[in-house]
């Protein structure tokens, strides 16, 4: 990291360091209002105990600016951590059962006009199309992070772009859960009516489809799905809402996640900012 007045920065870091603390200076700066700002994190026994925000001359900036800068730098880092903790595992999750249903339904729907099969096929097709976007999301956020590390530069535009990419991921995952919820009554109907197709040429595919549906309709699977789409959230007036599997629910999820990010920052980071002490 190219920091001006390196000795001044080091001196400021040491001045604010407390007993038994270690420190880590972020390798990139945050560019805000035509100025570069740097963040140093203090820790004791691997637990964060403090942070300071400095300008490129090593001067500790006023508390109000420090809070603003720290919010974006910490939120950006949390976003990057989400990629490894949440997004990549979700991307690598096996969708083989759904892909197998897709292949069976594709064959069945060429041999019958029964609406249940066609509706189920349409839902599975949409799910696989939306999910195909996840590897692209990982690539985009990885490129963004690499750019920050290579240039040692972070700004509002880059932060907002990172937030938008991760929010798109959240929307896709919630959207998939919504579509799977829609598929539950259709799957139940197909399972219930399976014997109606015993004399058809595609009955072997129906039996295999019903076998896979049994796993999908298991109590543990249904419970997990319900938890994915019926989250309890609190709005700005502290009224509790059950998030429903629809477009309104998706918007509410986005709002709740944004407020959650701010609350976590206010609870965990603001109290340990040492600017103004």
Q: Which helix (H) or strand (E) holds 107?
A: helix 96-108
Read off the pLDDT band of 230 (50, 70, 90): low
3-state secondary structure of 152: coil
Looking at residue 241, its pLDDT comes to 55
Nearest to 200 by CA among 105, 108, 122: 108
What does 46-65 look like in DSSP terms, one character per residue?
A: TEEEEEEEEETTSPBPPHHH
Give tens-digit pLDDT for 155-207. Answer: 999 999 998 888 888 888 888 888 888 899 999 999 999 999 999 999 999 99
8 Å CB contact between 180 and 227? no
8 Å CB contact between 265 and 74? yes
What angle separates helix 219-229 from helix 156-192, to the nearest 10 degrees?
A: 140
Look at the chain and count its residues: 277
Average pLDDT over residues 134-160: 92
Q: State the average pLDDT for the chain.
A: 86
8 Å CB contact between 190 and 209? yes
Ordered alpha helix ranges (H), 152-202: 156-192
* Residue in the block written with tokens 């907002």: 160
What angle separates helix 247-268 from helix 63-82, to the nearest 10 degrees?
A: 130
Nearest to 123 by CA among 204, 186, 44, 64: 186
Read off the pLDDT band of 257 (50, 70, 90): confident
Q: What is the pTM of this model?
A: 0.79
What angle separates helix 63-82 from helix 134-151, to the nearest 10 degrees?
A: 140
């Amino acid at each position: 990291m190219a920091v001006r007045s390196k000795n001044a920065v080091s001196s400021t870091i040491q001045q604010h360091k407390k007993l038994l603390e270690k420190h880590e200076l972020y390798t990139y700066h945050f560019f805000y209002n035509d100025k570069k700002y740097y963040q140093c994190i203090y820790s004791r026994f691997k637990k964060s105990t403090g942070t300071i925000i400095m300008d490129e001359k090593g001067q500790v900036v006023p508390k109000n600016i420090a809070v603003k800068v720290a919010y974006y730098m910490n939120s950006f880092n949390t976003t990057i951590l989400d990629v490894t903790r949440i997004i990549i595992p979700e991307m690598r999750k096996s969708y083989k059962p759904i892909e197998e249903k897709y292949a069976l339904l594709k064959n069945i729907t060429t041999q019958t006009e029964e609406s249940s099969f066609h509706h189920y096929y349409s839902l599975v097709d949409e799910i696989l199309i939306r999910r195909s976007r996840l590897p692209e999301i990982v690539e985009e956020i990885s490129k963004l992070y690499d750019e920050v590390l290579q240039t040692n530069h972070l700004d509002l535009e880059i932060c907002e772009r990172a937030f938008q990419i991760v929010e798109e991921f959240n929307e896709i995952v919630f959207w998939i859960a919504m579509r799977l919820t829609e598929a539950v009554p259709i799957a139940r109907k197909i399972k219930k009516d399976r014997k109606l197709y015993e004399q058809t040429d595609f009955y072997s595919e129906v039996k295999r489809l019903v076998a896979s549906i049994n796993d999908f309709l298991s109590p543990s699977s249904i419970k997990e799905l319900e938890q994915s789409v019926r989250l309890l959230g609190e709005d700005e007036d502290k009224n509790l809402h059950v998030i429903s599997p629809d477009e309104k629910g998706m918007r509410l999820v986005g709002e709740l996640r944004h407020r959650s990010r701010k609350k976590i920052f206010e609870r965990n980071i603001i109290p340990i900012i040492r600017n103004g002490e």
